[in-house]
Amino acid sequence: MSAAAQRVDQQGEAFFERLKVRLRTVPSKVMEAHGMTLKDAAVLAPLFWRGGEPWAYLTMRPMTLRKHPGQISFPGGARDPGDATPLHTALRETKEELGLPPESVSVLGMLGAMPTITAYWVTPFVGVVPAEAPLSPSEIEIAEVLEAPLWRLRKETRHIYQADRDVYVWGDARHVVWGATFRMLDQLVEHVSAVGR
Determine how many CB atoms are found less than 10 A away from the CB of residue 29. Answer: 10
Structural domain boundaries, residue 120: 3-195
Indicate the pTM of the whole model.
0.91
Note the Cα 38 to chain centre separation in Å.
Answer: 21
Q: Give the range among 11-15, 16-20, 34-38, 78-82 with minimum mean pLDDT.
A: 34-38
Positive or negative, the CA dihedral 23, 29, 35, 37 is: negative
pLDDT digits (tens, 9 = 90+) for 103-162: 999 999 999 999 988 889 999 999 999 988 899 999 888 999 999 999 999 999 988 888
Asked whether residue 38 carries a pLDDT value surpassing 60, the answer given is yes
Share of the chain above pLDDT 90, in %: 74
What's residue 132's pLDDT?
85
Note the Cα 28 to chain centre separation in Å.
Answer: 14
pLDDT band for 5, please (50, 70, 90 cuts). very low
Residues 29-51 have a mean pLDDT of 89
Asked whether residue 8 carries a pLDDT value surpassing 60, the answer given is no
CATH number, domain of 151, equals: 3.90.79.10
What's residue 78's pLDDT?
94
Task: Domain count for the chain, please give it.
Answer: 1
